[in-house]
Structure 1
Amino acid sequence: MVISRLYYIFWVWYNFKKILNEVIYSYMDSFWEKFDSQKVFEKISDELLEEALFDNPNLINVILKYKNTVNRYDEVLREFLLNYSNSAEILLSHYEVKNNFQKDILCIPPSLTLDDKENILLDYLSSNDPNINYIKLILNMRNQKGFKITDKTRLKAKRVLSNETDKLLKISASMKYGVNVTFDSNELLSKNVSIDEDQTMHYVYSASYIKSNSDPYSLFLNFKDLFEYLDIENRISLVSNKRNLGTFERIIGLRSKDEYLKGIAFRIAESSSLAQIMGYSKVVEDLGKPLESLLSIIFMEVFPSKYSLPSNARFLVPTATSYLEKIRFLAPEFESALKQFKLYVEDKEIDFELLQISSAPSSIKDIPSLNRNKYIYLNEDNNISVNCSDLLFSDQTLLAYVEPFKEKKYGTFFNLLINEDVKFSSYESFLLPRLNYLLDNNVIHVDKSDSIIFNNPLRVLVLKDLYDNEVASFHHYPEKYQNEILKMAKEDLIYLENSLFSKPEQSYFNYYLNKSEFTNGLDLRNSYLHGTQASSKDEKEHEIAYFTYLKLVILAFLKIDDDLKIYSSISN
């Protein structure tokens, strides 16, 4: 064994360059794995490795997988990375990219300092053809122990991204989509939604319907009933949802592991909701009820009269002329309203003296609910709940494709079972382990006629809701479902939590308001609070920021309305 190892080392040393030139690419990993494990590097000089990397720079992607080799050639690899055109992409892929598939972990040379890494990124940003995806990663990266950048580098990334995006738009023929919102007095339906051949969404709302239902609460509820800011369970429908990403969107492009996902569905919802609130603002203003005044009435009059919110609740936004001023007046009132609701949940009263003493801002996740068991979540640590959900609802499962229903393209096993009488014997043997898993965990059974049947349809429907939306609202389910949900919680398939906003909703607010959770967050709260927002001359940008902020206030008030309504119903 010793002779064999010594002979191998001698053979590699003697033929090193020839081996690297002739080894087939698919065997390159095997060669370097043995090079590392057999410590062949003890006999290969720095100069030989430098020559090998000069002849074939792509070797670096393989070499960095092997820790012993990296440590041996630490300085050589550092010098190489400082001058290699793709070093920035290697560093970003290692530290920042969220991998959907298992990839080898790279070993970065220990001698490569933080300054070295930042200089590599700066050189990349100054290069002739930087990749727009990697520029975004630099802009949105979160500083960490082994990889951080200064604000100057981040600003340079922002400017380079702007230039590269402009160039791309001039030559791009990529997919286009648009939104058009109209309020029409002649429209017979309260709302009419269509999409044209240019992929433009057209929303037409009846101005007559709005005017004939112009009491403050009805005008407020239009954000739910007409614009569908909330869904049937009063979850915010505008949030980013990984289930709304197409297969293509899931696998292409680079994303930071700390980035808020923004697929096409999210961008359309973002554009639509913004156009809706901007158009609706003019409609209600014509009715003599500006949105800021309407929200004051909702919080200070409607909530106390309809529910149990204390009558001293306060939400008053001073009048302002510019959008910059409007945001600066709106932001602290919004924060105050959330704090007031938090005090009410905790103490059943709003003590403004206590509110003033508690000067620290309240985190969105810390706003409690009046109601126990507010939200339902899938227990991601329970393999049974996760695996069964994937087998039932994933569009990647082969259980949906079985004769004689293949041509109908149901997509998921769940859709197939609720539409067809599926026979167990129709499945080929290689799919039986998946079916047996569902059988063993009492999700399905096979009846006397060989048909596959759900054991507990209520439980399956709850799991589907969680799979599709990442969260479900306990109190919006009928009682028989609630009883089943409590059983599922005892079995640790799911868990329940109490908060005003669900986890996806908390992430949505954090994306817009701060950078506490996401590196690509818009940070509206902090930028306007600390005066680091866009120039006061950029009125259009401030207008968009203002209506975005206003949308967040409306969403929060809709969630408070839902919470108060549930609490009132249970109390009565």
Structure 2
Amino acid sequence: MSEDDPSIRRVRFYSVNDLSISWYLPRVAELVERFDPESPPAITEDLLEFHNVQQFLEHGFFPAEYSEEQRKRSQARIPEIHRAIARYFSALGEADFATAVATVGYEYHADLIDLLGRYKAFDRCRASVALPALTATGVHLGTMLASRKLVEAYDAEIRSELLASPSNAEHVIRKHLEAGTRTAIHLPRSLSPSDAHSLLERYIDSEDANTNYIKLIATAKDIKEIALDAKLRLRAQRRNNEITNSFFAENSGFKTGCEVGLSDSQDSPEMLELDTTDGWTVRYTYSTEWLNGTLDEPSILNNFQHLFGFVDEQSLLVLPAYPSQLGVMERFMGTTGKNEYKIGAEFRLTDIRTLLQTRLYHHFLGTRDVDLERVFSWFFEEYLENEFGAANFAFTPSDRASTYLQRVRHLFVEMESAMAQFTLFARYGEVDRDLLSISSEPVRYKEIPSLLPGKYVYAVNGSDLDGILHLLFSDQSLLTYISESLKSENAAGLMVENHLTYDDFAEHQRPAVDFLISRGVLANTGTRVGIASAERFHILASLFTTRAASYYHLSEKCRSEVDAMVTKGWVTCRSTLLTEAEADYFNYILNAVDFSNGPNLRNRYLHGTQANRDSEDEHFTAYVTALRVTVALIIKLNDDFWLAAENLGADPLPEKTSPA
């Protein structure tokens, strides 16, 4: 990198947290000191650089050696620099527009468009003058679309430019479908829904279409503004399948997956093996002796919970996609839709594992003349009343002679009925069958109540906990690496695995360590910096890993710690059957309430949009999925009843009340 190259040395302000800030400070100081308001720069690129310098000054960034007097003198230049920029761009007209923008480099294109719009250059210059000049200097259409003023001034011309190439559909996709776009995207008012629909069709069919964008179309919800409908989604789905099949026809790929099986000889209930002979396969083997010895209803459900590992030690489901599972590449590479359920490799592995476990167990139990649906019926109609006095629950198994299409439809109906019954029970203390029969509201998984107050602990957004969780557990924390011999995947691991002193941390790391010490997360004994409280650390780890902690599964010391964190404003407690992450998972699998990329199984089957001509294998897979989610809900219900019985005294059931 040459210091003499002006294109490299020019100041660029990205954000207040950007690591380049200190690198630019010497040049910022140099430019400010030599700025003459009586003779300001007269070259566009020079003014654009001063526009960036102004932002450094406005945010208080100065060389560390600057005195208070130097800081004040530099800040006094802010209005003078602002006036010079305003005068220059306000004077630009058609006669000098092309010359003024001709030499502006790519790094300043966004600033150029911003200032031209801010000082009304697009109002003074016709499109026939401005657009060719901007194109000639290399300003991309995407950069132009970031300016509302440019798009409004040149509406018809921008529409024509958009429709000129199928690749420009990506701007429409980024505007309406993609999440996390860094810059605003403005489309001309004259671009009709029909225009957008046609552009998307041409893009889907084009040779250079990006599969990431095609997937966004294929999984999007209906959007009237761009006429995105089911037919367009289907077109995108078929095109995506075509591209994928073509790719794997020429590329073998890397085999990853999961296998489950039974063993007549192993002693352990479960054995786990990682096979790397042909790719990467995780193999689970289960003892038939164990399964034969656990054929009673309670043991069958316990096998899902403990043997198959459907939940963690706090009875939080492992099925959801948790952000903590995503690797660096999964978080930052690719494209994510605005209504997309973000999944990664760990979610896919868990999804395959639990589906195969359910399928294997369903088959095994069938050979022993045990029907899982009748186990579900036992849970609702016998177990809940006998164990907790919760009467009048009902669950009707499907006919084993029915097709899987019929069975999956029936199971979804019974599953939702069970959730509606529990909702009535939690609210009114009983299952009133007459009230149930006239209730027409669909099940809202985020709103299913719990029998316990304040059941789940959640981090409060915007509190100190945001920074604490990032510094302790994120692989992007600046505290993960001290040296080649002192490093870990996250700061928490580094602290636990090593004896660290304050002096071990580099100068740039110490403010973060000080922050954690000041918040009582770390403690500095003088000889070691480590975790201050095991209870607090346990809670923080849960909040990062599963986005929640189950209050009543915590020890008394941990509960006291949660209470203290509530007082600090770090966490809040809410009462529902499911955590927010668990409810998101059920909505992803079953419906399209929140997410557009899920299998939407409940809606497809109950609304009859699942075609009868689909193979019985496909219906069987949907049936196994329905069994899995029903088991998951039963585990959560059982946990709720048990926690209520243990924590709410002799009579844990809600008091009977009449609905308003």
Cα distance, 1:20 vs structure 2: 5.7
SS of residue paired to 2:458 = strand
1:140-176 CA distance string (max 9 Å, x none): 2234574451222222222222222222222334443
Contact 1:377/1:470 (8 A) holds in 2: yes
Contact 1:96/1:141 (8 A) holds in 2: yes
SS of residue paired to 2:523 = strand
Matched, 1:544 2:621: yes
1:478-513 CA distance string (max 9 Å, x none): 111111112211222111111111111101100111
Map 1:179-190 → 2, pairs under 5 A: 179-190=258-269
Which residue number in structure 2 is paired with residue 393 of structure 1?
473
SS of residue paired to 1:161 = helix
SS of residue paired to 1:377 = strand
5+ residue gaps, structure 2: 1-39, 41-82, 651-660
Question: Which of 116, 129, 132 lines up with 2:195 in the alignment?
Answer: 116
Contact 2:477/2:491 (8 A) holds in 1: yes
Matched, 1:152 2:236: no
Which residue number in structure 2 is paired with residue 409 of structure 1?
487
Which residue number in structure 2 is paired with residue 139 of structure 1?
218
Contact 1:259/1:518 (8 A) holds in 2: yes
CA distance in 2, matches of 1:465, 1:563: 19
Cα distance, 1:201 vs structure 2: 1.1
Cα distance, 1:429 vs structure 2: 2.1
CA distance in 2, matches of 1:4, 1:263: 47
Cα distance, 1:39 vs structure 2: 2.8
**RMSD in angstroms over aligned alpha carbons?**
2.4
Which residue number in structure 2 is paired with residue 242 of structure 1?
323
CA distance in 1, matches of 2:586, 2:642: 22
Matched, 1:221 2:299: no
Percent sequence identity over aligned pairs: 28
Which residue number in structure 1 is paired with residue 24 of structure 2?
none
Corresponding letter in the other structure for 2:593: S
Which residue number in structure 1 is paired with residue 509 of structure 2?
431
Cα distance, 1:312 vs structure 2: 4.9
Which residue number in structure 1 is paired with residue 179 of structure 2?
98
CA distance in 2, matches of 1:362, 1:531: 18
Contact 2:388/2:641 (8 A) holds in 1: yes
Cα distance, 1:472 vs structure 2: 1.1
Pick closer, same or farther for the CA change 1:110–1:289 going to 2, 3 Å. same
Deviates more, 1:169-178 or 1:15-24: 15-24
SS of residue paired to 2:479 = helix
Which residue number in structure 1 is paired with residue 424 of structure 2?
343
Question: Which of 496, 506, 514 lines up with 2:583 in the alignment?
Answer: 506
Q: Rg: which structure is higher?
A: 2
1:504-549 CA distance string (max 9 Å, x none): 1101100111000101122111111111013434211111111111
CA distance in 2, matches of 1:366, 1:30: 46
Question: Which of 331, 334, 340 lines up with 1:253 in the alignment?
Answer: 334
Contact 1:5/1:38 (8 A) holds in 2: yes
Corresponding letter in the other structure for 1:514: N
Contact 1:320/1:326 (8 A) holds in 2: no
Cα distance, 1:183 vs structure 2: 1.3
Which residue number in structure 2 is paired with residue 467 of structure 1?
544
Cα distance, 1:425 vs structure 2: 2.1
Contact 2:393/2:421 (8 A) holds in 1: no
Contact 1:88/1:121 (8 A) holds in 2: yes
CA distance in 1, matches of 2:490, 2:411: 46
CA distance in 1, matches of 2:616, 2:151: 53
Cα distance, 1:82 vs structure 2: 1.4
Cα distance, 1:401 vs structure 2: 1.9
1:401-433 CA distance string (max 9 Å, x none): 225xx4242222222222222111222222222
1:71-129 CA distance string (max 9 Å, x none): 11111101111123322111111222122xx7221222222222222222122122223
Contact 1:301/1:311 (8 A) holds in 2: no
CA distance in 2, matches of 1:456, 1:46: 65
Contact 1:318/1:329 (8 A) holds in 2: no
Corresponding letter in the other structure for 2:471: L
Matched, 1:162 2:241: yes
Which residue number in structure 1 is paired with residue 125 of structure 2?
44
1:193-225 CA distance string (max 9 Å, x none): 111112111010001111012211101211111
Pick closer, same or farther for the CA change 1:134–1:350 going to 2, 3 Å. same
Pick closer, same or farther for the CA change 1:79–1:57 going to 2, 3 Å. farther
Corresponding letter in the other structure for 1:212: G
Matched, 1:87 2:168: yes
Contact 1:315/1:337 (8 A) holds in 2: no
Aligned residues: 566
Pick closer, same or farther for the CA change 1:111–1:206 going to 2, 3 Å. same
Cα distance, 1:181 vs structure 2: 0.8
